[in-house]
Amino acid sequence: MKFIVSSSLLYKELQNIGGIINTTNTIPILDNFLFNINKNKLKITSSDLESSMTSEIEVESESDESIAVSAKLLLDILKTFADQPLTFNKTDKNTIEITADNGKYSLAYQDGGEFPKEIEIQDASTTKINANDFLNAINSTIFASGNDDLRPVMSGVFFQFSSDSLKFVATDAHKLVKYERKDYNSQNNSEFIMPKKPLQILKGVLTSIDNDLTIEYNESNAKFQFNNSTLTCRLIDGKFPNYEAVIPKENPNVLTINREVFLNSVRRVSIFSNKTTHQVRLKIAGSSLNISAEDFDYSNKADENLECDYKGDDIQIGFNSKFLIEMLNNLDTEMVTLSMSHPNRAGIIRPENTGNKKEDITMLVMPVMLNE
């Protein structure tokens, strides 16, 4: 095996796919990148058994072979090089020799045949979406997913594709976010739960991509294809909760307020809240919003008054400030609405007058019992 490749190009591709590799692996081969060379095409693969990622780059070569090379060692040496052509050459001593402008470096390799085979998706459905729009969907929802090992179905993002729209939903039972794109659809009605780790990796690599992302999926696996890369993963097995049932339909009390003013006020007041409940109290009457918090254990207390636009009955309601801050942080509109029905029913946060009729964001936050 022998090939010539640009050091910076190889380093960039290895960084992109290296996020799949776990810091500790029970199977040693998973600490490696698989290099599969076919004439002038180099296909690089990383895997953690649940997910795998591949990237193809052009190289100068006449070889047709595969080997596995230490991921850490390769990334460590490549990041030290200025951009230059590197020659990789397999020797008789079970090493791969890298020749650079100023030196030679040898590292051991393993047989590529030991590397896990790529997951093949049978009878797949296919959907296309712009990479930026997909990124918005994931950024808007992933923070609301849970971390409870006993409820794995809540530890990812629920994809619900239909002929009308694409919906992305995440919840941890305390908060819920539904993001809907009405300018995309799917030929078949499909539902599946994506694990968090591959979505976090996609978040990192899709920021620099502006063209379409192709999603192939069946009941057990999903594949994401973009540019010269592919990410394949197993789906979370199980049934996602009926999220529509928990979204209150009648919410006559509607608060409209500047998002940044509201966010900064909750941030300040929450510093004085109880460190277990993180409770802040919203007291709304007329056009006045009072935000307060108190930690009875330490006699800490804060309250602020803000002007707002409010339609409905006077209300007092408590929320976990951490959840409010997360949700307001993940919106980018100037104004938001908080719709409520009763102090013991969920509040619904939505962006106000976005002007974007293609997307719809609904954020639901459960109330906390107020300390009278």
Predicted local distance difference test score (pLDDT) of residue 63: 87
- Res. 92 pLDDT band, cuts 50 70 90: confident
Residue 65 has pLDDT above 80, yes or no: yes
Residue 354's beta-bridge partner residues? none
For the stretch 124-176, pLDDT in tens is 999 999 999 999 999 999 999 999 989 999 999 999 999 999 999 999 999 99
Average pLDDT over residues 276-296: 95
| Pick from 156, 129, 347, 167: nearest CA to 257 | 347
Average pLDDT over residues 287-307: 94
Answer for the pair 311, 266: CB distance below 8 angstroms, yes or no: no
Q: What is the DSSP string of 332-356?
A: --SEEEEEES-TTS-EEEEES--S-
User: φ and ψ at 349, to 5 degrees?
Assistant: -105, 130
Q: Do domains 2-114 and 247-368 have the same CATH topology?
A: yes
Residue 348's beta-bridge partner residues? 339, 364
Q: What is the Cβ-side half-sphere exposure of residue 9, based on CA atoms within 13 angstroms?
A: 14
% of the chain surpassing 90 pLDDT = 91
- Res. 266 pLDDT band, cuts 50 70 90: very high
- Res. 372 pLDDT band, cuts 50 70 90: low
Rounded CA gap, 331 and 124, in Å? Answer: 34
Topology of domain 2-114, per CATH?
Answer: DNA Polymerase III; Chain A, domain 2 (3.10.150)
Architecture of the structural domain at 247-368:
Roll (3.10)
Length of the chain, in residues: 372
Architecture of the structural domain at 125-245:
Roll (3.10)
Domain ranges of the chain: 2-114, 125-245, 247-368
| Pick from 119, 8, 3: nearest CA to 67 | 3
